């Protein structure tokens, strides 16, 4: 089971729909169902459509943004009217639109038009070339920023760039390169340009790395908060650049088959940072369905701020494109990256969560390690004893080393688990810290499925991971790092259909939408992706290279490439 059981009225309504139009189906062939007599807006034929709990079908029809019928090519073709758009898929595989259940998409979009991307780069030479290309169009003396989403292990050289290399690639520019939330590389004048050179405060927060001759390498080591604060010293993109970046990032997601995201907020995103997203929504220019959370802006003012921020934004407010989905991932500062919260911090969290429960609000919690997670689970159990929380669909993100006991406690409280492919980049580090026996069980995906624990797939991009869902799906299936090191035991490797369902129906559960999207089924939103390769039959190590050639959201073709390039609909 990947999601909550359907409510009775939905099941009854589907039965009624089939009954009402049963006569229309007679003589049409093997069409499974249809929800409208009028001709479809779009028909997809001659494909391999992945239908859960059934064999693939050949075709489907779309009307008014929803799937109106599915079945064989001949039967679906017979539904076409004079204005119906008919698209021949040429045998390509079609899957439900992918939903990243935990991605910092709003923040990623802010700098996407001004940052340098190393997604898919396989050598340092190519990485430096991308810096050089960006330097040709960026104003002299401006900053070139690589904000994350890469690892040295993706390069053939298997190492980080040097300060000399970035200075040679962009001699007339400032350069900032962030590696996860652990290290930053600055060009020789970068520290002075940011105003941190000689700073007593920053000397305690940043640790310069030194070479064998004890000379600074330009790399700075720091914790999560220090690196986030350092990033905030960079010149901020203009609103126009943020708007363009958000639009481009969402299009990049569409090219990967993503039709929806759940954004958990984060302590390093400001309320004003949501403005470009809201602008695109008002302009009806969104190409991805966004479910967003709000994080606490100020330490020790969490409840006060949440009350103000949600005063005119009740849980679920918005529409099918943009919807408010509660609070997270930093709900109270005392429970964020803190493995040993104090009694006072526990009381602060309790107060906020009781308020959130009274408002019917969803909450998602950022937590990394199993050993101290009892602090969080105890806090949630305390709230649950006062008011049941299962109906609220609260969730824990990350927690890669979750124990069976933890999963069982989560299940008993009605929690869900948001899981990402962090170990695709960082698996070797975990292996070195915890050993091979622990690594065989991280994350325990199949164990969670056996417990029928709600589970959603995602990436946590773009600082710590690439946003590519097919890279994540490949990692789910083989448990291998980017270097090819196999970690997860075979008994914790899901089937291809299980993994796909986690990235679609599973993710939809966390925003109460598993009955309206995440499946190729009559009555569901027409969100889908036509793939460049067959996800069901390609060798596992080739799944990460799959891209979408046609992505549809609500019946609108938001991205098209290859043989379908002329079919893309306007976003205006």
Element (H, E) at 218: strand 216-221
224 and 249 co-located in one domain: no
Q: 173: domain range?
A: 115-231
226 plus 257 within the same structural domain: no
Q: How many helices (H) and strands (E) does the chain have?
A: 21, 23
Strand-strand pairing, 322-327 and 289-294: parallel
**Within a domain: 290:** yes
CA dist 420 and 408 (Å) reads 20
Q: Is residue 106 part of a domain?
A: no
Sheet with 48-49, edge to edge strand ranges? 48-49, 93-96, 528-531, 548-553, 556-560
Is residue 311 domain-shared with residue 175, that is, in the same domain? no
Q: Is 391 left (phi over 0), alpha (psi -120 to 50) or beta?
A: alpha
Whether residue 530 contacts residue 557, with contact meaning beta carbons closer than 8 Å, is answered with: no
Q: What distance in Å separates the CA atoms of residue 512 and residue 390, rounded to the nearest whole number?
A: 12
CA gap 169, 171 in Å, rounded? 6
Q: Quote the pLDDT of residue 89.
A: 98
CA–CA gap between residue 289 and residue 504 (Å, rounded):
13
Considering 499, 518, 537, which residue would you say is the last residue of a domain?
A: 518
Question: Is 310 inside a domain boundary?
Answer: yes
In a domain, 494, yes or no: yes
Give the start-end residues of each E strand in 406-547.
416-420, 455-458, 528-531
- The answer to whether the CB of 403 falls within 8 A of the CB of 417 is no
Euclidean distance between the first and the last CA atom of the chain, given in angstroms as a whole number: 39
294 shares its domain with 326: yes
The full DSSP string for 267-316 is TT--GGGGHHHHHHHHTT---SEEEEEE---STT-HHHHHHHHTTT--TT
Tell me, yes or no, whether 164 lies in a domain. yes
CA–CA distance from 424 to each of 78, 272, 369, 477 (Å)? 46, 33, 17, 12
499 found inside a domain: yes
Do residues 224 and 305 both lie within one domain? no
Residue 330 within a domain: yes
Could you give phi then psi for residue 177, rounded to 5 degrees? -125, 120
Angle at 537 between CA 533 and CA 540, to 5 degrees: 85
CA–CA dist 555, 57 (Å, integer):
18
Domain assignment of residue 560, yes or no: no
Among 200, 231, 262, the domain-final residue is 231
Q: List Cβ neighbours of 154 (8 Å cut-off, separation of 6 or more).
A: 118, 121, 122, 482
Query: Which of 152, 197, 212 lies closest to 177 in space, CA to CA?
Result: 152
Asked if 62 contacts 42 with a C-beta cutoff of 8 angstroms, the reply is yes
> 231, 256, 280: which is the final residue of a domain?
231
348-391: pLDDT as tens digits: 999 999 999 999 999 999 999 999 999 999 999 999 999 999 99
Give the residue ranges of the chain where pLDDT is below 70.
1-37, 572
| Residue-level length of the chain | 572
Tokens of 230: 């350092």
The sign of the dihedral angle between the CA atoms of 492, 495, 496, 500 is negative
Distance from C-alpha of 236 to C-alpha of 372, rounded to nearest angstrom: 37
Same domain, 248 and 396: yes
Domains identified in the chain, total number: 2
CATH of the domain at 385: 3.20.20.140
pLDDT at 37 (0 to 100): 61
Cβ density class 410-425: b for 16+ within 10 Å, e for less: bbebbbbbbbbbbbbb
> Do 275 and 346 fall into the same domain?
yes
Q: Annotate 164-211 with three-state secondary structure.
A: HHHHHHCCCCEEEEEECCCEEEECCCHHHHHCCCCCHHHHHHCEEEEC
Quick one: 255 and 165 in the same domain?
no
Q: In terms of DSSP bridges, do strands 143-146 and 528-531 run parallel, antiparallel, or are they unpaired?
A: unpaired
Q: Quick one: 262 and 384 in the same domain?
A: yes
Quick one: pLDDT at residue 570? 80
Half-sphere exposure of residue 133: CA atoms within 13 angstroms, side-chain side: 11
Segment 145-170, tens digit of pLDDT: 999 999 999 999 999 999 999 999 99
Q: According to the model, what pLDDT value does residue 288 have?
A: 98
Angle between helix 302-309 and 343-358 (nearest 10)? 20
Element (H, E) at 220: strand 216-221
Q: Both 226 and 251 in a single domain?
A: no
211 lies in the same domain as 246: no
pLDDT of 432: 94
Q: What is the DSSP string of 9-72?
A: HHHHHHHHHHHHTHHHHTTT-S--EES-SSPPSEEEESSEE--TTS--BSEEEEETTEEEEEE-
**Shared domain check, 314 and 207:** no
């Amino acid at each position: 089971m990947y999601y909550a059981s359907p409510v009775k009225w939905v099941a009854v309504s589907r039965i009624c729909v089939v009954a009402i139009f049963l006569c229309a189906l007679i003589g049409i062939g093997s069409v499974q169902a249809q929800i409208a007599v009028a001709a479809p807006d779009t028909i997809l034929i001659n494909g391999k459509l992945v239908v859960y709990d059934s064999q693939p079908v050949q075709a489907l029809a779309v009307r008014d943004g929803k799937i109106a019928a599915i079945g064989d090519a001949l039967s679906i073709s017979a539904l076409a009217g004079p204005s119906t758009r008919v698209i021949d898929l040429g045998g390509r595989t079609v899957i439900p639109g992918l939903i990243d259940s935990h991605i910092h998409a709003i923040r990623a979009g802010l700098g996407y038009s001004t940052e340098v991307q190393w997604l898919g780069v396989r050598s340092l030479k190519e990485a430096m070339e991308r810096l050089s290309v960006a330097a040709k169009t960026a104003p002299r003396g401006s900053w070139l920023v690589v904000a994350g989403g890469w690892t040295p292990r993706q390069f053939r050289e298997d190492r980080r760039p040097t300060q000399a290399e970035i200075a040679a690639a962009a001699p007339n520019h400032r350069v900032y390169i962030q590696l996860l939330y652990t290290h930053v590389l600055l060009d020789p004048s970068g520290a002075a340009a940011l105003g941190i050179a000689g700073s007593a405060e920053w000397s305690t927060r940043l640790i310069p790395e030194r070479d064998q001759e004890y000379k600074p390498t330009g790399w700075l080591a720091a914790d999560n908060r220090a690196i986030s604060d350092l990033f905030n010293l960079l010149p901020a993109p203009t609103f126009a650049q943020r708007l363009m970046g958000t639009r481009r990032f969402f299009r990049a997601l569409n090219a990967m088959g993503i039709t929806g995201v759940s954004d958990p907020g984060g302590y390093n995103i400001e309320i004003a940072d949501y403005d470009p997203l809201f602008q695109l929504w008002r302009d009806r220019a969104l190409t991805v369905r966004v479910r967003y959370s709000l994080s606490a802006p100020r330490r020790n003012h969490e409840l006060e701020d949440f009350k103000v921020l949600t005063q005119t934004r009740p849980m679920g407010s918005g529409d099918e494109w943009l919807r408010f989905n509660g609070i997270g991932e930093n709900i109270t500062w005392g429970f964020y990256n803190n493995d040993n919260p104090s009694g006072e911090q526990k009381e602060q969290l309790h107060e906020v969560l009781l308020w959130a429960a009274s408002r019917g609000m969803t909450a998602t919690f950022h937590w990394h390690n199993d050993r101290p997670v009892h602090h969080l689970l105890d806090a949630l159990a305390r709230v649950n004893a006062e008011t049941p929380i299962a109906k609220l669909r609260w969730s824990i993100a990350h927690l890669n080393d979750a124990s069976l006991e933890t999963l069982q406690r989560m299940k008993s409280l009605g929690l869900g688990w948001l899981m990402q492919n962090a170990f695709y980049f960082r698996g070797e580090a975990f292996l070195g810290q915890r050993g091979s026996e622990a690594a065989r069980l991280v994350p325990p995906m199949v164990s969670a499925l056996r417990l029928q624990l709600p589970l959603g797939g995602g990436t946590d991009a773009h600082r710590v991971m690439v946003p590519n869902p097919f890279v994540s799906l490949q990692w789910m299936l083989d448990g291998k790092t980017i270097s090819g090191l196999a970690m997860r035991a075979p008994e914790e490797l899901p089937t291809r259909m299980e993994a796909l369902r986690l990235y679609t129906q599973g993710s939809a559960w966390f925003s109460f939408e598993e009955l309206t999207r995440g499946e190729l089924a009559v009555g569901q939103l027409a969100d889908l992706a036509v793939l460049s390769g067959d996800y069901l039959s390609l060798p596992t190590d080739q799944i990460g290279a799959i891209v979408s050639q046609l992505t549809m959201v609500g019946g609108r073709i938001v991205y098209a490439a290859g043989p379908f390039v002329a079919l893309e609909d306007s976003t205006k």
